[in-house]
Amino acid sequence: MGYPIFDLTKHRRDISWYMRSLEEVIIRVAADFGIDAGRVQGAPGVWVGNQKLVAMGVHVSRWVTSHGFAFNVSTDLRYFENIVPCGLAGRGVTSLEKLLGGPVEMEAVIERVAGHIGEVFNREMQPGRQLTVESRR
């Protein structure tokens, strides 16, 4: 899970731009692992083919963001077997580990996410500062 907090008055007052920018962060992370991920028109998140790799949901109040994204790194995908994820019938859910066929070091993913957030939002990232990780295995 990632919950970036940005004051969009210091970037752009544009929620669509912000959502596309968050998607871009994860698309770049996926590329770092050799995965061709992208967007699907009308369906927020990051997709690999017909399967969702990242779900997104943000809240903006007074142009300050909260909430963010759920990046399926090592997610137990059985939780999605009996539901229609994000209300999109005919589509599935995947994870980085499933796509790569084996375990992925969470710290490597976190480093890449933080680095690409810095690039996409043109900010200097300070490791260890306000970066909390929760892993559910």
Name the residues annotated as catalytic: 86
- Helix (H) and strand (E) counts for the chain? 3, 5
Q: How far is CA 75 from CA 1, 14, 39, in A?
A: 11, 31, 20
Nearest-5° Cα angle at 115, 76 to 106 = 25
Longest dimension (CA), the chain: 42
Q: How would you classify residue 43: left for phi > 0, otherwise alpha for psi between -120 and 50, otherwise beta?
A: beta
DSSP string, 27-38: HHHHHHTT---E
